[in-house]
Amino acid sequence: MLGHKPCPACTSRYTVHLQDVLGQRSGKPIPQFVCLDCHSFFNHSGYRETDEQKAHDFEFLHNMRESIYANQNRLCLELVTRCPHVQTVCEIGYGLGWFLRSCNDYRRKSYGFETNANCHAYATGDLGLDCALGLFDASHTKHYDMFASIMVFEHLEDPRALFTQMRDRLNPDGAIYLCVPFVERRDWPYLWTAGTTPANMPPDVFYDNDVHIMHYSVEGLTRMGISLGARSAEFFTSPDVAHNSPGAYQGVLFRF
Ligand SMILES: [Zn+2]
């Protein structure tokens, strides 16, 4: 069956319905589409988190806080090394706030937005950060040298809209860093079980399709940023300093 939805990443009209994937949380089948141009996958579920689920998300992050701080600190060091001119950073979806704290460690001024009230309370109370509870939208008029968003864009139905809002609040020579769970060709075998018996955790990239509704290829995310005005895109893997695995965060750094 032909899909008529444009690719949410690269906007190609050459998308097809591939199969229905199983939502781990809802137990419901969700139509999955693939972009024939950039090999990104998308499955819009309509799922919304309850307050109970948000409290669970906070507990999950809180239990991992030491490794998150170690790895996000290393990621921050990599970013300020690649972009030494960056003095102000805004993070969209800061979670517990450890990346913002890391920015402060490296003497950068940080701000951020987060919709989970438990996370916001921890970031302001325990970490003493300057940050907002709520969505980042056009009513926020401050500009920054860098925007970062770590493990957020896989949750978005319209990632290009948020990317555009970030771009419009960048200072000259600004940068945007996005980290997502990418889907590459080596992950395609998980498509065989995504409709019936997905695993319940990584490395199966199709394990939580209720909330991971965008599965970008590196090419798809790169095309998104370049088509929205970035002059370059650098893909890199930030080392996992907590567990010595091959990598903690994979992401793309866009320069403007
Ligand atoms: Zn695409």
The total domain count for the chain is 1
CATH number at residue 61: 3.40.50.150
Structural domain contains residue 5: no
Structural domain contains residue 9: no
Structural domain contains residue 6: no
Q: Please, how many CA atoms are within 13 Å of residue 69, restricted to the half-sphere of its CB?
A: 12
Average pLDDT, 10 consecutive residues per value, the chain (256 residues): 80 95 92 97 91 94 95 97 98 98 98 97 98 96 98 97 98 98 96 93 92 97 98 96 89 98
C-alpha 216 – ligand 1 centre gap (Å): 8
- The range of the structural domain enclosing residue 238 comes to 15-255
**Phi first, then psi: what are they for 199, rounded to 5°?**
-70, 170
C-alpha 71 – ligand 1 centre gap (Å): 30
Instruction: Describe the chain by its helix, strand, coil percentages, rounded to 5.
Output: 30, 25, 45
Which of 53, 71, 77, 69 is CA-nearest to residue 126?
A: 69
Could you give the dihedral angle defined by the CA atoms of residues 159, 161, 167 and 168, in that order, rounded to the nearest 10 degrees?
-170
C-alpha 221 – ligand 1 centre gap (Å): 8
pLDDT at residue 2 in the model: 52
Structural domain contains residue 4: no
Q: What span, in angstroms and rounded, lies between the C-alpha atoms of 215 and 43? A: 9
C-alpha 35 – ligand 1 centre gap (Å): 5
Helices (H), the chain: 51-63, 65-82, 98-105, 117-125, 159-167, 191-194, 218-227
